[in-house]
């Protein structure tokens, strides 16, 4: 019944809204002819009755009980039948009532078309008995009453008489001619056909209106809430109908001002939004390469068939000009066959070149093409072309190739074309400054900074930083060892943690080579991938560690480099994920106490946690990350580790976990890796215990921090400090 009534309502509203009378009339005519249908109600009735058919006596039911149940069922079926008879009758009555309103509206529309016009007519013979002239127009002949004494003059001077005709549209959109009048010298004479009087009553048309609200959300892959050049953002519109009537032909219309370098569709069609329903649709906004730093406004207006659209929604967002990459050869080194550090004619040499992106933007589809000079050749298995893929801002990738030169060669010339997918960002004919019979550094220190721009670009790791070169491999991979590596350098809502990403990248290699953790067993998340949801997925019950490493033979190693944050009120400590807010650490952070508890609940044999973070409210450069707080005034209550959990912490109390600029790492992380590679083996027994590693950190980290004018004292919390961490 509701469906039938709703359809008729929509037909009525079409007539109210559309200005074109002919279109409205034809539409109403179509609806008036729509017969009443009770098919839906009948199907609903049949479905409900089917639930009571094919009764079967239950195993623990007596015959009397079964017979009584059948009587009850029959009574229920009869009640359902009566109910739906009434529903069908009510629906038919409502249908007829609306058809009557439609018919009345039709007559009103036709009455509105009534008009009186001047026409040319033809005067026929006069009937003296009835005192009438036949006056004809195309499609109609009227009997016009003219007194006998006036008739001769009218006929003689008919050409001087005006003929006015009243006409009105009919349902077929043709003209019905209702009345005619002759006006002239002898007076005005009317036809016997009279136009019916126009009724003064009006029709009150009622509908069940919808109530629409539009909710919009804007998301883009970069995480900066801006539309970058060559980036595609998604705009999602949810239209909710909290009214009692359906909305129809709902459409969103878009108009963007402020930039011509954003492509977007002109409209988005939703169609019907039923009562109580929410319909979601999305469009994409593409920033073209010519986009500039500006602010744009996307005006979203709506249309609805019956005039009940949602309110307009303005969306303002910033756009960001294309950040150009800058790829170049940052460093190079050799490994020569004779091991004298010189490239000699006729000698096989391995060449390593490091490609760094010091620009602000991503370098896309990078490839390096090596061109050799005369009498210099690639060794078998080496090639000229190296596909590197994308290199992020501040990132780097290495290429390695083997060459041999003829014994008669006198000059060594190697150039590299650095090709970028967009051409204009390529850097061609970059020379490698290598020469014959000259002592070449197998590792050359490089200090590489970003261009003056909106953000500092981290230095590409130098080939000469000791902890990054020649990482030792101690023992074979152990399938029962598992690792988690998290490094967050760039935060959405907080200042950056300098070198944290590189700390994590190299610690992953130490986990693999020094600790013997298979790469497949290491869960690594960096920067924007280390969200609050990610931390829960890793550490919460039934998370990644619980599912993979919660067994009695498993050893778990966890490394975290990033912000810690305190809750000022509770003095509790929290790890701050990429999307966390240090001012709301208790809401957006991961409680350190919860982390310890979750780890200790695992059934692993041993768990070792390395935390290169502090909980003072400041970053590695002693910059405050909390609004209105002073780091020296905040002292967190760091939870105690127990059981199978051992924790290495970078600092104590309200101290800062510093960066070590000379080594391009966090201070704690640098000496942690340096100790793990063998420097912490104090008694030279080819074993490093937890206590030995801690003593090495205590000896080196505070002393280096004091030279920076800071205090930083690492600490170890463990119930088994004598446990062997590394051996070879």
Query: What per-residue string of b and e applies to 655-686 under the rule 16 or more CB within 10 Å gives b?
Result: bbbbbbeebbbbbbbbbbbbbbbebbbeeeee
CB 420 within 8 A of CB 361: no
Q: At what angle do helices 532-539 and 592-600 cross, to 10 degrees?
A: 20
Cα–Cα nearest to 214, from 252, 184, 183: 252
Q: Within the chain, which residues score under 70 in pLDDT?
A: 1-23, 48, 59-62, 83, 86-87, 90, 93-94, 199-206, 441-464, 616-639, 641
- Sheet hosting strand 140-145, strand order edge to edge: 122-127, 132-137, 140-145
The pLDDT value recorded for residue 56 is 86
**pLDDT tens by residue, 489-511:** 888 888 888 889 989 999 999 99
Please give the structure tokens belonging to residue 618.
Answer: 């400041």
CB 497 within 8 A of CB 561: yes
Report the C-alpha gap between 396 and 329 in whole angstroms: 10
Cα–Cα nearest to 355, from 433, 402, 417: 417
Report the C-alpha gap between 704 and 214 in whole angstroms: 58
The pLDDT value recorded for residue 394 is 86
User: Tokens 């963007």 — which residue?
Assistant: 256
State pTM to two decimals: 0.42
Looking from the CA of 379 toward its CB, the CA atoms found within 13 Å total 12
The pLDDT value recorded for residue 83 is 59
User: Which residues does 424 contact at the CB level (< 8 Å), separation at least 6?
Assistant: none
C-alpha to C-alpha distances, 726 to 117, 519, 596, nearest whole angstrom: 108, 18, 23
Q: State whether residue 494 is helix, strand or coil.
A: coil
Q: What DSSP line would sit under 180-229, residue for residue?
A: EEEEETTEEEEBS--PPPPP------------EEEEEEEE-TTSSSEEET
What residues are paired with 590 via a beta bridge?
A: 575
- Sheet hosting strand 363-372, strand order edge to edge: 385-391, 363-372, 414-419, 427-432
Please give the structure tokens belonging to residue 115.
Answer: 């008009």
Cα–Cα nearest to 503, from 517, 523, 524, 521: 524
CB 672 within 8 A of CB 697: yes
In percent, how much of the chain has pLDDT > 70? 87
Instruction: Say if strands 278-287 and 262-263 run parallel, antiparallel, or are unpaired.
Output: antiparallel
Report the C-alpha gap between 681 and 474 in whole angstroms: 13
Report the C-alpha gap between 288 and 322 in whole angstroms: 9
Please give the structure tokens belonging to residue 430.
Answer: 């970059």
The pLDDT value recorded for residue 87 is 62
Three-class DSSP labels, 298-341: EEEEEECCCCCCCCCEEEEEEEECCCCCCEEEEEEEEEECCCCC
- Cα 557 from chain centre: 33
Please give the structure tokens belonging to residue 15.
Answer: 């007539």
**pLDDT tens by residue, 444-476:** 433 333 333 334 444 455 555 889 888 999 878
Report the C-alpha gap between 393 and 323 in whole angstroms: 9
**pLDDT tens by residue, 690-721:** 999 999 999 999 999 898 888 889 999 998 99
Please give the structure tokens belonging to residue 229.
Answer: 């050049």
């Amino acid at each position: 019944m509701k469906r039938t009534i709703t359809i008729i309502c929509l037909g009525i509203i079409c007539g109210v809204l559309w200005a074109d009378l002919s279109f409205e009339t034809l539409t109403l005519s179509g609806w008036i002819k729509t017969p009443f249908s009770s098919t839906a109600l009948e199907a609903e009735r049949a479905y409900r009755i089917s639930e009571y058919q094919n009764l079967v006596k239950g195993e623990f039911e007596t015959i009397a009980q079964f017979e009584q149940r059948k009587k009850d069922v029959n009574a229920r079926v009869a009640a359902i039948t009566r109910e739906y008879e009434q529903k069908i009758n009510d629906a038919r009555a409502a249908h007829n009532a609306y058809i009557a309103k439609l018919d009345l509206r039709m007559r009103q529309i036709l009455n509105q078309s009534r008009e009186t016009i001047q026409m040319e007519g033809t005067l026929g013979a006069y009937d003296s008995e009835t005192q009438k002239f036949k006056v004809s127009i195309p499609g109609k002949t009227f009997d016009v009453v003219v007194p006998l004494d006036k008739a001769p003059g009218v006929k003689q001077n008919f050409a001087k008489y005006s003929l006015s005709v009243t006409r009105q549209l009919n349902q077929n959109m043709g003209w019905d001619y209702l009345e005619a009048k002759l006006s002239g010298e002898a007076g005005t004479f009317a036809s016997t056909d009279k136009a019916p009087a126009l009724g003064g009553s009006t029709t009150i048309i009622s509908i069940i209106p919808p109530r629409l609200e539009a909710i919009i959300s804007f998301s883009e892959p970069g995480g900066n809430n801006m539309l970058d050049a060559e980036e595609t953002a998604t705009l999602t519109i949810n239209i909710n109908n909290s009214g009692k009537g359906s909305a129809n032909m709902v459409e969103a219309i878009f108009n963007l001002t402020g930039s011509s370098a954003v492509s977007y569709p002109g409209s988005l069609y939703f169609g019907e939004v039923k009562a109580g329903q929410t319909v979601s649709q999305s469009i994409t906004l593409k920033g073209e390469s010519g986009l500039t730093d500006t602010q744009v406004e996307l005006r979203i207006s709506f249309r609805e068939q019956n005039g009940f659209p949602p309110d307009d929604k303005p969306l303002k967002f910033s756009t960001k000009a294309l950040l150009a990459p800058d790829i170049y050869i940052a460093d190079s080194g050799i490994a020569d066959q004779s091991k004298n550090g010189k490239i000699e004619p006729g000698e096989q040499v391995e060449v390593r070149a490091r490609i760094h992106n010091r620009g602000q933007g991503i370098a896309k589809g990078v490839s390096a093409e090596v061109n050799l000079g005369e009498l210099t050749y690639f060794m078998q298995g080496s090639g000229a072309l190296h596909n590197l893929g994308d290199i992020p801002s501040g990132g780097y990738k290495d290429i390695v190739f083997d060459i041999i030169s003829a014994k008669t060669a006198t000059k060594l010339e190697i150039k590299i074309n650095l090709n970028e997918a967009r051409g204009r960002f390529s850097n061609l004919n970059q020379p490698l400054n290598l020469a014959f019979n000259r002592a070449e550094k197998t590792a050359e220190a490089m200090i590489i900074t970003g261009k003056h721009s909106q953000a500092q670009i981290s230095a590409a790791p130098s080939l000469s930083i000791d902890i990054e070169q020649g990482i030792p491999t101690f023992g074979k991979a152990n399938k029962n060892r598992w690792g988690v590596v998290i490094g967050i350098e760039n935060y959405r809502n907080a200042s950056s943690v300098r070198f944290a990403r590189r700390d994590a990248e190299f610690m992953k290699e130490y986990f693999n080579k020094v600790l013997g953790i298979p790469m497949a067993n290491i869960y690594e998340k960096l920067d924007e991938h280390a969200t609050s949801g990610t931390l829960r997925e890793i550490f919460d019950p039934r998370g990644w560690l619980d599912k993979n490493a919660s067994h009695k033979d498993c050893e778990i190693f966890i490394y975290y480099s990033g912000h810690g944050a305190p809750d000022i009120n509770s003095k509790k400590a929290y790890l701050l994920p990429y999307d966390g807010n240090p001012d709301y650490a208790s809401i957006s952070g991961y409680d350190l106490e919860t982390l310890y508890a979750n780890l200790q609940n695992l059934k692993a044999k041993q768990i070792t946690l390395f935390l290169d973070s502090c909980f003072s409210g400041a970053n590695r450069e002693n910059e405050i990350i909390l609004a209105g707080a002073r780091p020296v005034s905040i002292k967190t209550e760091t939870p105690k580790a127990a059981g199978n959990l051992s924790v290495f912490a970078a600092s104590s109390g309200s101290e800062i976990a510093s960066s070590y600029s000379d080594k391009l790492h966090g201070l704690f992380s640098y000496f942690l890796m340096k100790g793990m590679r063998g420097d912490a083996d104090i008694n030279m027994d080819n074993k490093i215990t937890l206590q030995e590693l801690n003593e090495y950190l205590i000896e080196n980290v505070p002393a280096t921090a004091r030279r920076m004018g800071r205090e930083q004292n690492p600490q170890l919390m463990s119930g088994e400090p004598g446990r062997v961490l590394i051996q070879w």
